[in-house]
């Protein structure tokens, strides 16, 4: 969350989509191994168990996280 907060502070006019895209890239770069990158063409992060620090999500929780990662992260 600290990187997201820094991003928002440095880009106060960033849209929610821009913030979510930043968060997706951070998760992809930090937690998903290069062999297991699991982000599909619509920028949905599939399978929270692929990276540490996030609990396994049920299908509804995963759907919410995929729709809006920043809100999903805050909810977790």
Q: Taking the mean position of all CA atoms in its chain, how far away is CA 39? A: 10
pLDDT in tens, 18-40: 999 998 888 877 766 544 444 44
pLDDT in tens, 30-74: 766 544 444 444 445 545 444 555 667 788 887 888 888 888 777
Name beta bridge partners: 41: none
Domain boundaries, the chain: 1-39
- Whole-number Å distance between alpha carbons of 57 and 75: 12
With beta carbons less than 8 A apart as the criterion, state whether 67 and 74 touch. Answer: no
Q: Taking the mean position of all CA atoms in its chain, how far away is CA 9? A: 18
- In sequence order, the 6+-apart residues with CB closer than 8 A to the CB of 60 are none
């Amino acid at each position: 969350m600290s990187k997201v907060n820094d991003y928002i502070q440095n880009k106060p006019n960033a849209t929610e989509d821009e913030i979510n895209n930043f968060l997706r890239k951070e998760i992809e770069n930090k937690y998903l191994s290069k062999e297991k990158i699991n982000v599909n063409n619509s920028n949905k992060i599939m399978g929270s168990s692929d990276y540490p620090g996030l609990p396994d999500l049920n299908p509804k929780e995963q759907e919410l996280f995929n729709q809006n990662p920043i809100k999903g992260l805050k909810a977790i």
